[in-house]
């Protein structure tokens, strides 16, 4: 079975399973986060553009857990890219969260048409060196973006958060991550449910007594990825965390690989602005 934590290339550890709070209403975020933390989640993935950072911070405080036990991620939005604006954006996120440091801060999208991600990255390097952010990474970066970022700065992101699910498996990008020492983290990991009735998923569900969602989330973990499903229901949160008592066989993993269609649910990072 895979570990419940992954080592980042800066030596820090990240939980393999976390709670994503995209589209969680601001007035429900604190309760959702506190409930998830009570169920055993130790990673919460947020972003400035989600509009619920204050609720994330409040949920963390409601949980009563020591700060060092919870891994908090947020992201710099497209409009805030650039060196000085990134510094301001991260300070704004910290203020809304009510925290004095972040465990991980990501560039949300590369936005190549604006060509500001190098300056944004240099600002994150500065914030890391100053101790405001412990680890720094990216989200939705493609191979060319990663190679340019590292080539220009010499600093390798600890993580790239990418859209990944059985219909979009990102095999070549994950292989590049492995070569560069970058953790792959999956957003929209259930692919909007498009694979819930796929034969390989149903076969594992029938064998293990698990739900299709649990099967797919377990598949992500066995690929070596960190995964951040979203739920606001207590039973959904509880179901998503029960992933560490079963395995997909090699044959089942091979059958899952055959589901790849290269089909996105979200925007194309090459053009999204």
Q: What local confidence, expressed as pLDDT, does residue 3 receive?
A: 59
CA 242, 72, 181, 137 torsion-angle sign: positive
pLDDT band (50, 70, 90) for residue 110:
very high
Full set of structural domains in the chain with CATH: 5-196+223-232 (3.20.20.100)
Q: Tell whether the model's pLDDT for residue 2 goes beyond 70.
A: no
pLDDT band (50, 70, 90) for residue 132:
very high
pLDDT band (50, 70, 90) for residue 23:
very high
**Which residues, listed in sequence order, are joined to residue 44 by a DSSP beta bridge?**
19, 72
Which residues does 134 contact at the CB level (< 8 Å), separation at least 6? Answer: 12, 101, 102, 103, 104, 128
Q: Tell whether the model's pLDDT for residue 273 goes beyond 70.
A: yes
DSSP annotation string for 193-219: GTTTT-HHHHHHHHHHT--HHHHHHHH
**50 is known as an active-site residue:** yes
Enter the tokens of residue 85.
């604006």
Contact 100, 70 (CB under 8 A): no
Which residues does 268 contact at the CB level (< 8 Å), separation at least 6? Answer: none
Identify the residue whose tokens are 């390097």: 125
DSSP 165: B
**Which residues, listed in sequence order, are joined to residue 75 by a DSSP beta bridge?**
106
Q: What is the pLDDT of residues 76-93, one digit of tens each?
A: 999 999 999 999 999 999
Residue 148: half-sphere exposure toward Cβ, Cα within 13 Å? 14
Q: Tell whether the model's pLDDT for residue 116 goes beyond 90.
A: yes
pLDDT band (50, 70, 90) for residue 260:
very high
Q: What is the pLDDT of residues 180-223, one digit of tens each?
A: 999 999 999 999 999 999 999 999 999 999 999 999 999 999 99
**Distance (Å, rounded) from C-alpha 18 to C-alpha 229?**
7
Q: What is the mean pLDDT of the chain?
A: 97
Q: Tell whether the model's pLDDT for residue 75 goes beyond 90.
A: yes
Q: What local confidence, expressed as pLDDT, does residue 221 receive?
A: 98
**What integer is the mean pLDDT of 236-257?**
97
DSSP 265: S
End-to-end CA distance of the chain: 39
| Nearest CA among 142, 60, 157 for reference residue 101 | 60
Q: What Cα–Cα distance (Å) separates residue 112 from each residue in 38, 146, 163, 172, 188?
A: 40, 12, 18, 20, 22
pLDDT band (50, 70, 90) for residue 1:
very low
Name the active-site residue from 17, 34, 46, 50. 50
């Amino acid at each position: 079975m895979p570990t419940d934590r992954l080592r980042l290339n800066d030596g820090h550890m990240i939980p393999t399973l976390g709670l994503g709070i995209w589209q969680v209403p601001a007035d429900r975020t604190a309760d959702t986060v506190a409930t998830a933390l009570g169920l055993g989640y130790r990673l919460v993935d947020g972003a400035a553009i989600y509009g619920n950072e204050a609720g994330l911070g409040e949920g963390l405080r409601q949980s009563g857990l020591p700060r060092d036990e919870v891994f908090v991620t947020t992201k710099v939005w497209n409009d805030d890219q650039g060196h000085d604006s990134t510094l301001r954006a991260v300070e704004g996120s910290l203020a809304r969260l009510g925290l004095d440091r972040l465990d991980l801060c990501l560039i949300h999208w590369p936005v190549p048409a604006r060509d500001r991600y190098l300056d944004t990255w240099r600002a994150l390097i500065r914030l890391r060196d100053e101790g405001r952010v412990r680890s720094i990474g990216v989200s939705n970066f493609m191979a060319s973006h990663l190679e340019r970022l590292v080539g220009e700065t010499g600093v390798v992101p600890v993580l790239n958060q990418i859209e990944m699910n059985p219909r979009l498996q990102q095999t070549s990008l994950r292989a590049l991550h492995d070569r560069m020492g970058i953790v792959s983290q999956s957003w929209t990991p259930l692919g909007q449910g498009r694979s819930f009735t796929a034969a390989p998923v149903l076969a594992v569900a029938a064998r293990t007594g698990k739900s299709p969602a649990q099967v797919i989330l377990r598949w992500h973990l066995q690929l070596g990825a960190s995964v951040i499903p979203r739920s606001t229901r207590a039973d959904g949160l509880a179901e998503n965390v029960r992933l560490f008592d079963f395995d997909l066989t090699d044959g089942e993993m091979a059958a899952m690989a055959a589901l790849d269609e290269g089909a996105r649910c979200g925007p194309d990072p090459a053009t999204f602005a």
